[in-house]
Chain A
Amino acid sequence: MLIVHCHVCGAEGDETDFHYGGQAHIARPATRDPANVSDAEQRDYLFMRHNAKGLHFERWRCDRGCGKWFHAARDTVTMEFKATYGISELPPRALMEAATGEWAVFFKDRLAKGSEA
């Protein structure tokens, strides 16, 4: 059982008090440019997910508490929560730099630009 800490209301509780919301930072291509979404983009958006061993970024909801969504960086090997951050934010810079594999590719541009999620 994971012990989760809500980024919004500070509640700490068992995993069952929270709701896992899947991989974080997935942008819907049709939101940016509805007229020009390729099949490959739409496929990636719907189905393709990172399967990180180690540092992973995901969404959680304080389901039985304040009801708000937030982001969490978690290690899928040790199950340790490295950080939680707001739902419209990017992870702390140190964690973006520590990301490996697909996440490292994902954060590369963002680290360069320092842009928002």
Chain B
Amino acid sequence: MSDAQFETALQGRETPTGLTVDIREMTTRGMIDLRGLADDTAFMAAVKQALNLDLPTAPRTSAAWGEIQALWLSTDQWLILCPRTKTEELLTALRQALAGIHSLAVDVSDMRTIIRLEGDQARSLLLKGSSLDLLSADYEAGTARRLRFAEIAALLHIVSTKPDVIDLYVFRSYADYAWDWLIANGRTVADVRQFGKQAVPAT
């Protein structure tokens, strides 16, 4: 008999060097998938009581209170982030508060792998794999949205800006692929500068 051991998807991968951004795996975060009806006041009140924060109802936004964050995923779905060690406790509190209300709360901490990108080139790197206009004003700090990134499903959370800190959530089975993709496309020599000032061609 051996005890189950917690292993992250990217455990053992070396910290890459020579990239335009710093990338690392976030391993200490717990995630709870929360579903319910946003127009159900009893549901919203119960969540507020358990998490101490109002769930964001505007598309692609997030809310935070202390170490707990809520990311908007859909009109009836949120991803709750908390320290991994507190997931169980928070889940119990949520389920107690939501008893009898049409809703769902599940621990999905191991469902997704989180890769954190830090640096001002983070957006131009992500642009290589996505059709979103990440440089537009819509993508301010706190924005969270799902997208098709490098042909796979991903979730983008802009944690802060200047310098950019962006969390990229991919399903665990895609973690290796996403990591390798970021390394391959994030090399300094592969940097894209078409969005910066261009040299004026001689006439």
Contact = CB atoms under 8 A, between A and B. Distances in A.
Contacts of B147: 13, 17, 64-65
Contacts of A68: 74-75
A13 B132 CA distance: 7
Interface residues of B, number: 13
B79 to A, nearest CB: 13
A16 B60 contact: no
Contacts of B60: 9, 11
Given A14-B131, A16-B131, A64-B153, A9 B74 contact: yes
A16 B73 contact: no
A54 interface: no
Contacts, number: 38
A68 to B, nearest CB: 7
A8 interface: yes
Interface in A61-105: 63-68
B53 to A, nearest CB: 21
B59 interface: yes
Contacts of A67: 73-74, 77, 146
B148 A11 contact: no
Contacts of A66: 59, 73-75, 146
Per DSSP, chain A at the interface is: loop
A65 B74 CA distance: 7
Chain A interface residue bracket vs B: 10 to 19
Interface string B128-146: 0001100000000000011
A10 interface: yes
Contacts of A65: 145-147
Interface in A8-56: 8-11, 13-14, 16-17
A68 B77 CA distance: 11
Contacts of A9: 59-60, 74-75
A16 B59 contact: no
A16 B125 CA distance: 19
Nearest to A63: B148
5 contacts: A11-B59, A13-B147, A17-B147, A64-B153, A67-B74
In the A-B complex, the 7 residue pairs with the smallest Cβ-Cβ separation, listed nearest first, are A9-B59, A66-B74, A14-B131, A64-B148, A17-B148, A67-B74, A64-B146
